[in-house]
């Protein structure tokens, strides 16, 4: 499908669903005109049309939170766009990672629905609310030194378990280590997206090195 085949509405707009290339999280729903889409494609940065201000705006031009285009895909009808980006900062003007933060309905999840992002959000809630009797609350109350001490202790436990060849015990200790590392991340304000982005950048570098070796 070409740009000329896209279907803009009566106001000359087409919805653009912006998704983070690393986390695959939906960042925002914005609108583009033919002109803003043209700018987006030429600059490699998202440019939208503000319906409230009735003007074009290049995302990040004021805040520095640019969104670098990875790909733009049209839906089957050609009346909506999926924009995959690598972002420089929060997507929302409120400073949040995504504009979609207000939960309306959440069906009770089973253990199969576990995710590291979900755990991270749970830990953030513990830090904010500090419920009494919670081990996580205890760690946050004690502060970074206590948290780092636990990270060190759990790292040692992983080494001992792995050295002993006990696979089950190693899994258990790695889980403990991951939990305490994520507590540390929350305490320091480091998001899972930042870790994924760092790993992704290393993957790109490693891929380039392999290509150079082949040459």
Do residues 70 and 95 lie in contact, with contact meaning Cβ atoms separated by under 8 Å? no
Do residues 180 and 150 lie in contact, with contact meaning Cβ atoms separated by under 8 Å? yes
Q: What is the pLDDT of residue 118?
A: 86
Residues 17 and 27: their CA atoms lie apart, in Å, by 8
Secondary structure element (H or E) that encloses residue 212, with its range: helix 192-214
Q: What is the pLDDT of residue 207?
A: 52
Task: Please tell me whether residue 213 adopts helix, strand or coil conformation.
Answer: helix
CA distances to 11, 15, 28, 93 from 82, in Å? 20, 9, 11, 20
Secondary structure element (H or E) that encloses residue 43, with its range: helix 34-43
Q: What is the pLDDT of residue 112?
A: 55
For the chain, 215 residues long, give each residue's pLDDT as a single digit of tens: 888 999 999 999 999 999 998 888 899 999 999 999 999 999 999 999 999 999 999 999 988 999 999 999 999 999 999 999 999 888 888 888 889 888 787 666 555 567 888 899 899 999 999 999 999 999 999 999 999 999 999 999 999 999 999 999 999 999 999 999 999 999 999 999 888 888 888 765 555 555 555 55
- β-strands 14-20, 81-87 pairing: parallel
Q: What is the pLDDT of residue 34?
A: 96
Query: In the chain, where are the structural domains located?
Result: 3-87, 111-214
Residues 25 and 196: their CA atoms lie apart, in Å, by 12
The alpha carbon of 197 is separated from its chain's Cα centroid by a whole number of angstroms, namely 8
pTM, whole model, 2 decimals?
0.57
Task: Please tell me whether residue 73 adopts helix, strand or coil conformation.
Answer: strand
Residue carrying structure tokens 């004021």: 62
Answer CATH for 111-214 from 1.10.569.10, 3.40.50.300, 3.40.50.970, 1.10.287.1080: 1.10.287.1080
Question: For the residues of 154-185, what is the DSSP string, one character each?
Answer: HHHHHHHHHHTT-HHHHHHHHHHHHHHHHHHH
The domain 3-87 belongs to what CATH superfamily? Phosphoribosyl-AMP cyclohydrolase (3.10.20.810)
Residues 26 and 201: their CA atoms lie apart, in Å, by 21
């Amino acid at each position: 499908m070409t740009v000329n085949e896209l279907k803009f509405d009566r106001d000359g707009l087409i919805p653009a669903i912006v998704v983070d290339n690393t986390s695959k999280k939906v960042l925002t729903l914005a609108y583009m005109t033919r002109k803003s889409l043209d700018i987006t494609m030429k600059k490699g940065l998202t440019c939208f049309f503000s319906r409230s201000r009735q003007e074009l705006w290049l995302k990040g031009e004021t805040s520095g939170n640019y969104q670098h285009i990875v790909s733009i895909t049209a839906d089957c009808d050609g009346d909506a766009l999926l924009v995959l980006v690598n972002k420089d900062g929060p997507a929302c003007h409120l400073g949040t990672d995504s504009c979609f933060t207000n939960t309306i309905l959440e069906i009770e999840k089973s253990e199969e629905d576990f995710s590291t992002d979900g755990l991270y959000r749970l830990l953030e809630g513990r830090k904010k609310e500090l419920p009494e009797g919670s081990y996580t609350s205890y760690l946050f109350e004690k502060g970074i030194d206590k948290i780092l001490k636990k990270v060190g202790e759990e790292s040692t436990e992983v080494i001992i378990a792995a050295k002993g060849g006990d696979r089950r015990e190693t899994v258990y200790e790695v889980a403990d280590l991951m939990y305490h590392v994520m507590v540390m991340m929350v305490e320091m304000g480091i998001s899972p997206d930042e870790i994924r982005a760092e790993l992704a950048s290393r993957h790109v570098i490693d891929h380039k090195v392999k290509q150079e070796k082949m040459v």
